[in-house]
Amino acid sequence: DALSGRVGSERCIRDRDYEAARELAARLTGWSKQLADEERRFVVCTGGGPGIMEAANRGASEARGVNVGLTISLPNEEFDNPYVTRELAVHFHYFFMRKFWFAYLAKAVIVFPGGFGTLDELFEILTLLQTHTIRKHLPVVLFGASYWDQVIDFDALIRNGMIDAGDTAIFHRTDSVDDAFEFLTGRLTRYAIDERGAIR
């Protein structure tokens, strides 16, 4: 169990996040499979590891959709989960190459509570969007608003002049699978379906 060793409220929060990621991935996969044009369909892509990554791959798999796992070499850690579509499991040695392919292929980004690796990926995406280095429409959802409010004080960044108030419009915070689903499918329908290729 990827969640072993956690107790009390921490375990409850992580279990809730796991199930939310699983449900959201399944719903997004089901929605994508309903799209008329197969070339415009979307697939779930994760880091291919345990925990939330496993939950998302599992949800996509349970919705009978293919899904991608971009795994990374880590010492003393098993970084694979059984729900990744086997022919779509890609293994990386360098984090920077893995992050490049995440950003290059993504049409939307959903960030669940996580540690240094999650924060690294989140801030890189936010920086690329803030600086318009990524020019395609790329909706970003921070799932678990109370967690993100504790971990990152965006208001303090604004007060200290480090970011503009408008920069917080780059992402959408929510605790609701329904809200995340509606936000993402709305943005993907409006923009990404008509955007050919990975980078616009």
Instruction: Give the pLDDT confidence score for residue 122 in this predicted structure.
Output: 96
Instruction: Give the pLDDT confidence score for residue 78 in this predicted structure.
Output: 57
pTM, 2 dp: 0.87
Which value, to the nearest 10 degrees, does the dihedral of the CA atoms of residues 98, 127, 167, 53 take?
20
Residue 112 C-beta-side C-alpha neighbours within 13 Å: 22
Instruction: Give the pLDDT confidence score for residue 2 in this predicted structure.
Output: 37
* Beta strand segments in the chain, E: 44-46, 67-72, 89-92, 109-111, 140-143, 171-174
Q: Where are the alpha helices (DSSP H) in 34-68?
A: 52-62
Contact between residue 175 and residue 183 where contact means Cβ atoms under 8 Å apart: no
- Picking from 48, 19, 10, the residue whose alpha carbon sits closest to that of residue 175 is 19
- Picking from 56, 106, 118, the residue whose alpha carbon sits closest to that of residue 81 is 56
Inter-CA distances, 21 with 16, 33, 51, Å: 9, 18, 10
Percent of the chain exceeding pLDDT 70 equals 87
Burial of 125 (0-12, 13-18, 19+ CB in 10 A): buried
Instruction: Give the pLDDT confidence score for residue 199 in this predicted structure.
Output: 47
- The pLDDT mean for the chain works out to 87
Instruction: Give the pLDDT confidence score for residue 10 in this predicted structure.
Output: 46
Instruction: Give the pLDDT confidence score for residue 77 in this predicted structure.
Output: 59
Residue 154 pLDDT more than 60?
yes
Contact between residue 41 and residue 7 where contact means Cβ atoms under 8 Å apart: no
Instruction: Give the pLDDT confidence score for residue 14 in this predicted structure.
Output: 78
Of 131 and 7, the structure prediction assigns the larger pLDDT to: 131
pLDDT tens string 36-50 = 877 678 999 999 989
CB atoms within 10 A of CB 115: 8
